[in-house]
Chain A
Amino acid sequence: MTTAAGTPSDRSVLPVTERYTVLGWLRRNLFSDLFNSLLTIVAIGFVIFIARLLLRWAFVNAEWGVIPANFNLIMRGQYPSAEAWRLWLIIHLLGAVVGMMWRLISGQFSGAARVLVAIPFVLMLIPFFAMETRLNLLITAAASGVGYLFAGSLYIQRRGRATAYLLLVYLVVMLILLRGAGADEGLMPPVQPILWGGLLLSLLLAFFGITLSFPLGVLLALGRQSKLPAIRVISVVYIEFIRGVPLISLLFMGQVMLQLFLPDGFPLVDRVLRALVAITLFSAAYTAENVRGGLQSISRGQYEAAQALGLSTFQSTIHIILPQALRAVIPVLVGQFISLFKDTTLVALVGIFDLLGIARTIIANPDWLGTQPEVFAFIAVLFWIFSYSMSYASRRIEQRLGVGER
């Protein structure tokens, strides 16, 4: 993780006059000797070539009209426009929950919080947004502020538990809002999952994939490390089987064969749900292997000490072993979650309209023929933003928990 100049310790201290000058920096980092100078010149040429290519395409050749024209489709798929207020409500509530959680966990308004607050305001600058969209973004920002202040006014002793309850309540509310309830003419008519699409569906698949596969993965990891042979064998067979086959074969199998395994007369499982099952089962095996790495890094002494204190196997696993094991593998787990998020694109191949699936329908539309570069570049950037911020956040958490320093 060190930068090109190496760790601070191997940089010898320079005279004061040379330390902070631009020329001095240039000489040290770009032109230290002949070979380095040549390398720099070649690299500059390469950067200029690529930058010109990209800039010329992005600002001269590309026709970006396709993005604003299909923006709603890209964001929420076929989700009915009349029900879009439900999605906005979910986002506002998310803002409030994030504000409250921030106050409960960190308690201070520091760097990352400013970035989070800035997001709605930056989005408001996007030129083609309707006034209504901007207003909604403003409400989200306000909601997060209210949440932050509200949590500050509470006297809460068990912050961790409060946050957990908060999240749980939010999840239930979110699902009810998304799915709808009551009659078709009611306040919130049901919206079938097959209509959910675009970025909305990609994020939902990733979120539920992560939250469902994580506990299963931890159980499998514990099973693989278990002293009981039957449980160990079952875990190993499951993990190795899943890790040995490509995700796409599981997804196809879920679509084609899941119904075959279920008894006659069992209601048809929703297409999106079938994909979610496949993603969860797939990801759990990888999570299990990552958690196993953490379990193996814990010294025998910890197990023995827990036993000596009279803790049962269950208690020592929950209170002693797992917290340490999980903390040790946070970076790897986040990496795994990022790849799960990226893997959700595969559902586009089984007829589900996630971000990629929607992109494929847009370029198939005769009105937008030949816009493949623009559409795919746009969704690639969207994916990139989400996964890069996840990896950035994981690096910050890692620093905070002091992984690798204990």
Chain B
Amino acid sequence: MQEIHASQVRPPFYRDERVLGIFSQLLVVVIVVGLGLFFYSNMITGLREKHNVAISFSFLSQAAGFDIGESLIEYSRERTYLRAFVVGLLNTFQVAFLGIIFATALGIVIGVMRLSTNFLVSRIASIYIDIFRNIPLLVLLIFWAQAVFLKLPRVAEAIILPGPIFLSNRGVAIPWGIPTDSWGAFLLVLAAGVLLGAVISYFLREQGKRTGRMPLITLWFLVTVAAVGLVGWIVLPQPMTLDQPFLEGFNTQGGKILSQQFMALLSGLIIYTAAFIAEVVRAGIQSVSKGQREAATSLGLNPAQTLRLIIFPQALRVIIPPLTSQYLNLTKNSSLAIAIGYPDLFAVAGNTILNQTGREIEMFTMIMGTYLSLSLLTSFLMNIYNRRIRLVER
């Protein structure tokens, strides 16, 4: 009788976890790389044999030859494809930036309304959330463009809101400031105000550290900047004039005209995203336990201080990560502009340029690269922020 101790037996290689691990990794890598190579070689041969072209980005410097409805920078059909791409990119940024600001504001209002003790107010908020979270964004956008903005009256019978703001089926005309010669000087004054504010904040913080009573630093900073700005506005000879739109014949003149497509895209994105942001805000506020509020009150903090020093910092920790992902969603969703004719990045690059040049590989690389770097950049910043506000545990 021979006894074999368990620890002396080595498992056969096909049951050894280390061997299996290495083997399965090799297998996956071979499959993935093999598939990639397979696709790549198919693509290259296909391109060479059928279309007789090689991958190259040199077409970007050729003249685009098409017009773009709206642009933040100077553009004409003689400019290059690259310029057209940048125009689309800036249009995406414009919609995303404004959308984020307004959606956040509306979302916070609705999220707070949802938590109101007033039955009716909280009901209205929850109905809003339930409706807009369950309708596809694309349906909402097309509805907004074709059933609302397109159905507005003609310019001659435009709806006039105080301001004056003209609503018509050509778009929305709003008053707009026009910078004068002294605008540059005013910006300099404003910059000086920011600098002064920063210096004051620094001294206030040092004083707070010394005395243990932190003053309202942000408030003082804003007051300083506003005061300097106001002085500059009064002293300088009118840095900006107000240009008001008015009716002239069959069109509006003056002011700034926001196109029908732009307004439809922007308002659709705002309404849709606000419903999601409202839920994020509500969850964040509810996540702060009641004990925190009670403890703050028993320490003698007044309601405003409790909100500012106890509730908000803790709610923000919960709110910020999902809020950022909503911002990213809004930015990516703005690519649906193609459905309603607003020339954003995807509509210009993925549709117009691609159809004209037939450069699928190059265009998709550029489009996806742009969106990808936007979201990777955002998540990178988010991770830094998360690390800063993370609860420090033992």
Residues in A whose Cβ lies below 8 Å from that of B335: 246, 248-249
CB of B384 within 8 A of chain A? no
What chain B residues lie within 8 Å of A32 (beta carbons)?
Answer: 117
Q: Does B338 contact A (CB under 8 A)?
A: yes
Task: Tell me if B368 and A343 are in contact (CB < 8 A).
Answer: no
Q: Is the CB of B136 within 8 A of A345?
A: yes
* Interface presence of A227 (CB below 8 A): yes
Instruction: Please determine whether B116 and A39 come into contact, CB atoms closer than 8 angstroms.
Output: yes
Given known A260-B47, A372-B147, A376-B147, contact A29–B117 (CB-CB < 8 A): yes
Q: Does B182 touch A at the CB level, under 8 Å?
A: no
| B115, B134, B150, B336: the one within 8 Å of A338 (CB) | B134
**Given A47-B124, A245-B368, A249-B367, A372–B146 Cβ distance below 8 Å?**
yes
A260 to B361, CA, bound (A): 10
CB pair A245–B134 under 8 Å, yes or no, is: no
Interface size on B, residues (CB 8 A): 62
- 8 Å CB contacts to B: which residues of A390-406? 391
- The verdict on A380 contacting chain B, using a C-beta distance below 8 Å, is yes
Known contacts A4-B122, A246-B332: A230-B25 contact under CB 8 Å: yes
User: CB of B61 within 8 A of chain A?
Assistant: no
Q: Does A257 contact B (CB under 8 A)?
A: yes
B130 within 8 A of A: yes
**Please, what's the 1-or-0 string for A32-63, where 1 marks a CB less than 8 Å from any CB in chain B?**
10001001100110110000000000000000
B37-45, B98-106, B190-198, B202-210: which lies at the interface = B37-45
A366 to chain B, nearest CB (A): 16
The reply to whether B371 and A260 contact each other, CB–CB distance below 8 Å, is: no
Interface status of A342 (Cβ within 8 A of chain B) = yes
- Kindly supply a per-residue 1/0 record for chain B positions 290-302, scoring 1 wherever the CB is within 8 Å of any chain A CB and 0 otherwise: 1000000000000
Report B-chain residues with C-beta under 8 Å of the C-beta of A256.
354, 360, 364
On whether A228 and B25 interact (CB within 8 A), knowing A376-B142, A376-B146, the answer reads yes
Contact yes or no, A244 B372, CB < 8 A: yes
Kindly state the separation between the CA atoms of A231 and B25 in the bound complex, as whole angstroms: 6
Q: Is the CB of B130 within 8 A of A388?
A: yes
Given contacts A253-B364, A260-B47, contact A356 B136 (CB under 8 A): yes
Q: Is the CB of B118 within 8 A of A4?
A: yes
Indicate whether A384 reaches chain B with its CB closer than 8 angstroms: yes
Specify which chain A residues have a CB less than 8 angstroms from the CB of B120 in the assembled complex. Answer: 30, 39-40, 43-44, 47
Closest beta carbon of chain B to A224's beta carbon, Å: 13
Instruction: Say yes or no: A261-B360 contact (C-beta < 8 A), given A3-B122, A246-B332, A384-B134.
Output: no
**With A and B bound together, what is the CA distance between A383 and B26 in angstroms?**
45
Q: Do A245 and B28 have beta carbons less than 8 Å apart?
A: no
Q: Which of A351-373 contact B (CB under 8 A)?
A: 356, 360, 363, 372-373
Asked whether A245 lies within 8 Å of B333 as measured between CB atoms, the reply is no
Asked whether, in the complex, the Cβ of A248 is within 8 Å of the Cβ of B146, the reply is no
| B81 interface residue (CB < 8 Å to A) | no
Docked-complex contact A376 and B143, CB < 8 angstroms: yes
Q: Is the interface of A mostly helix, strand, loop or mixed?
A: helix
Interchain CB contact under 8 A, A342 and B368: no
The reply to whether B121 and A43 contact each other, CB–CB distance below 8 Å, is yes
CA distance A256 to B142 in the complex (A): 24
The answer to whether B119 touches A30, judged by C-beta atoms less than 8 angstroms apart, is yes
Closest Cβ of chain A to B271, distance in Å, is 13
**Which residue of A243, A263, A313, A380 is within 8 Å of B139 (Cβ)?**
A380
Assess whether A360 is in contact with B371, with CB atoms less than 8 Å apart. Answer: no
Q: Identify whether the interface residues of B are mostly helix, strand, loop, or mixed.
A: helix
| B 27-68 to A, binary, CB cutoff 8 A, 1 in contact else 0 | 011001000000100110111010000000000000000000
Q: Report A-chain residues with C-beta under 8 Å of the C-beta of B350.
A: 248-249, 252
- Which residue from A44, A240, A261, A387 sits with its C-beta under 8 Å from B42? A261
Q: Are A372 and B150 in contact (CB under 8 A)?
A: yes
Across the interface, do A39 and B121 meet the contact criterion of CB distance under 8 Å? Answer: yes
* Complex interface bits, B226-266 against A, C-beta within 8 A gives 1, otherwise 0: 00000000000000000000000000000000000000000
Do the beta carbons of B134 and A246 come within 8 Å of each other? Answer: no
- When the two chains form their complex, are residues B368 and A260 in contact, meaning their CB atoms are under 8 A apart? no
Hey, which chain A residues are within 8 Å of B42, CB to CB? 260-264
B21 on interface, CB distance cutoff 8 Å: yes
Question: Which single residue of chain B is at the shortest CB-CB distance from A264?
Answer: B46
Contacts of B286 in A (CB 8 A): 2
Interface residue A348 (Cβ < 8 Å from any Cβ of B): yes
Q: Per a CB cutoff under 8 Å, which of B24, B137, B290 touches A10?
A: B290
Contacts of A188 in B (CB 8 A): none
Which A residues are in CB contact (< 8 Å) with B121? Answer: 4, 39-40, 43
A234 within 8 A of B: yes
Task: Tell me, in angstroms, the Cα distance from A43 to B333 when the chains sit together.
Answer: 32
Contacting residues, chain B, for A356 (C-beta < 8 A): 136, 138-139, 142
List, in ascending order, chain B residues with CB within 8 A of A204's CB. Answer: none
A-B CB contact pairs (8 Å), 27 listed: A30-B118, A43-B124, A229-B25, A230-B28, A230-B29, A231-B25, A234-B28, A244-B372, A245-B332, A245-B371, A246-B335, A248-B336, A248-B350, A249-B367, A249-B368, A256-B354, A256-B360, A256-B364, A261-B43, A342-B135, A349-B138, A360-B142, A373-B151, A380-B139, A383-B136, A388-B130, A391-B134
Cβ-closest 10 pairs across A and B? A4-B122, A29-B119, A342-B136, A244-B372, A373-B147, A230-B25, A244-B375, A261-B39, A246-B332, A387-B134
